[in-house]
């Protein structure tokens, strides 16, 4: 397969997934790359797909994750201590792709990671790994139009955030450059916050869809079956991360406290996370 064919295949995975599952909402679990360990992370990704994930959102560990709450901050710190950077993230996705050529994988992270590697080098390595989308929290759309265009040409969807405070002008701006889907932050705050006003989310999505003609996913603040089911009634995707990572973290620590080996603790964490996600999937179904 040449580079053009590879990029076309990557570009089609997100679109094909949303088309295949419509009209139901996609289930998009977020996990920090390197959890529960570098070796076990691809296995966790497969387990989440088996539990009902439609798209995997893989967080790139970063030392100052401004949009993330304490649960994901801890996960990032653990991954950094294991030596996980962007190149290691690409390697994990390559391992995942050996057995899964269809599930979209979207990277979520911060500009420092991409800039340190270099935008063009990032695109080359991401395409080779089988990445389908990139969401960089602190890349404002008005400043990276060239990079967004380069990503699109490589078959990698540039994904952008919108928030409760986003103006009509900002929504229009994001609509011009976003591909794959738009990620709506459901609340004013960091990941894992507990308050979620479903009515406010529904009204904002109606406003966004006046200008955005690609799927709109909702994340931040979704922690259980009820919240996921409510959001799925009007969102194209439900993104859920902090509670999943918290479940994984708790199971891993419990296994370690009971004297489990590292590999056994990894498996306990994977089992707990996939069991929890399967309940979310059942609720959405």
* Residue (of 27, 34, 72, 17) closest to 52 by Cα position: 27
Given 35, 54, 64, 68, which residue is catalytic? 68
Structure token digits, residue 200: 């406010």
Tell me the longest C-alpha to C-alpha distance in the chain.
56
- Lowest mean pLDDT segment, chosen from 19-33, 81-95, 110-124, 175-189: 175-189
Other residues' Cβ atoms within 10 Å of the Cβ of residue 97? 18
Q: Which residue has the tokens 């701006």?
A: 173
**pTM of this prediction exceeds 0.85:** yes
Whether the per-residue pLDDT at 1 is higher than 50: the answer is: no
Whether the per-residue pLDDT at 88 is higher than 60: the answer is: yes
Establish whether 68 is a catalytic residue: yes
- 248-266 in b/e burial notation, b at 16+ Cβ within 10 A? bbebbeebeeeeeeeeebb
Taking the C-alpha atoms of residue 191 and residue 240, their distance in angstroms, rounded to an integer, is 9
Give whichever of 88-102, 138-152, 183-197 has the largest mean pLDDT.
88-102
The pLDDT of 8-32, averaged and rounded, is 87
Establish whether 35 is a catalytic residue: no
Q: Give the neighbor-by-neighbor strand order of the sheet with 161-162.
A: 157-159, 133-136, 105-109, 56-59, 26-32, 237-240, 216-219, 182-185, 161-162
Domains and CATH numbers, the chain: 3-280 (3.20.20.70)
Whether the per-residue pLDDT at 5 is higher than 50: the answer is: no
Whether the per-residue pLDDT at 4 is higher than 70: the answer is: no
Structure token digits, residue 221: 């603040």
Average pLDDT, the chain: 91
* Residue (of 107, 102, 143, 105) closest to 122 by Cα position: 107
Per-residue model confidence (pLDDT) at position 194: 54
pLDDT in tens, 255-279: 999 999 999 999 999 999 999 999 9
Cα 143 to chain centroid distance, Å, stands at 22
Structure token digits, residue 163: 């928030």
Which comes out higher in pLDDT, residue 5 or 45? Answer: 45
Q: For residue 137, how many C-alpha atoms fall within 13 Å in the half-sphere facing its CB?
A: 17
Cα 279 to chain centroid distance, Å, stands at 19
Given 35, 54, 57, 249, which residue is catalytic? 57
Q: Which residue has the tokens 């799925």?
A: 232
Per-residue model confidence (pLDDT) at position 3: 38
């Amino acid at each position: 397969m040449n580079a053009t064919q590879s990029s076309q295949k990557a570009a089609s995975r997100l679109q094909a997934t949303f088309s295949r599952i419509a009209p139901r909402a996609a289930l998009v679990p977020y996990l920090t790359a390197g959890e529960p360990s570098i070796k076990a992370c691809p296995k966790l990704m497969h387990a989440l797909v088996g539990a009902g994930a439609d798209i995997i959102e893989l967080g790139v560990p970063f030392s100052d994750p401004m949009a993330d709450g304490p649960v994901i901050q801890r996960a990032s710190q653990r991954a950094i201590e294991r030596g996980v950077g962007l190149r290691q993230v690409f390697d994990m996705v390559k391992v995942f792709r050996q057995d899964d050529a269809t599930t979209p994988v979207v990277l979520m992270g911060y500009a420092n990671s991409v800039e340190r590697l270099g935008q063009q080098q990032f695109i080359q390595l991401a395409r080779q790994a089988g990445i389908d989308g990139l969401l960089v929290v602190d890349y404002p759309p008005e400043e990276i139009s060239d990079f967004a265009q380069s990503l699109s040409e490589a078959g990698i969807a540039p994904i952008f955030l919108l928030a409760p405070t986003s103006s009509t002008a900002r929504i229009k701006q994001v609509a011009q450059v976003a591909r794959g889907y738009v990620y709506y932050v459901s609340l004013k705050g960091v990941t894992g916050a507990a308050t979620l006003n479903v009515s406010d989310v529904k009204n904002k999505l109606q406003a966004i869809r006046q200008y955005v003609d690609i799927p709109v996913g909702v994340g931040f603040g979704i922690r259980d079956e009820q919240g996921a089911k409510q959001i799925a009634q009007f969102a194209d995707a439900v993104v859920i991360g902090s509670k999943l990572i918290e479940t994984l973290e708790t199971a891993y620590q419990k296994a370690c406290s009971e004297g489990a080996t590292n590999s056994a603790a990894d498996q306990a964490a994977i089992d707990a996370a996939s069991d929890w996600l399967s309940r979310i999937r059942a609720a959405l179904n």
